[in-house]
Amino acid sequence: MRQKQPEIALDESDIVILEELQKDCRQTVAQIAVKAKLSTSACHRRIKALEESGLITGYVARLSSKRLGYSIEFFVELSLATQAEGAFEEFEREVLKIPEVLECYLVGGQYDYLLRVIALDAEDYERILRQSISRLPGVTRIQSVLSLRTVKPSCGLPLR
């Protein structure tokens, strides 16, 4: 399957820079420049241009959920009572307030939303479900799926 061409034309050096930043954004510009076969100053200019273009939207640190005490993760499928625009807006405004909801997607299909939720343990998940998720506006149906293990964590977008 062919990939749609990106809105921004990327050459081989740009792709190497982006791949390296996705792997480890704490690398020095000099380290990235060597891999991209550029001078340090040229690499720095390209990174700045990629940031200014909006292609690079930020830098983050990945934290260990286990080291922070979170032992379980659930995917939660939710249906709303109505498909009215206002219902979606109200739901989305409120779901943003739940810190244990790591991701929320509006989806097509049997459910309206898919959430990725993290919890300390089963008791904590029950608390989150009862006190937060089930109280979200317009929710009529909830289906939870326990994640047993992450097989392939997200480490960036494919560029080639």
Q: Which residue ranges form the domains of the chain, and what is each CATH number?
A: 12-52 (1.10.10.10), 72-147 (3.30.70.920)
In this prediction, residue 115 carries a pLDDT of: 98
Spatial neighbors of 147 by CB under 8 A, at least 6 apart, are 72, 73, 74, 75
The string of pLDDT tens digits covering residues 49-87 is: 999 999 999 999 999 999 999 999 999 999 999 999 999
In this prediction, residue 160 carries a pLDDT of: 75
In this prediction, residue 145 carries a pLDDT of: 97
Low-confidence ranges of the chain (pLDDT < 50): none
Beta bridge partners of 142: 78
Please give the structure tokens belonging to residue 118.
Answer: 């993290």
Spatial distance between the Cα atoms of 52 and 17, rounded to a whole number of angstroms? 15
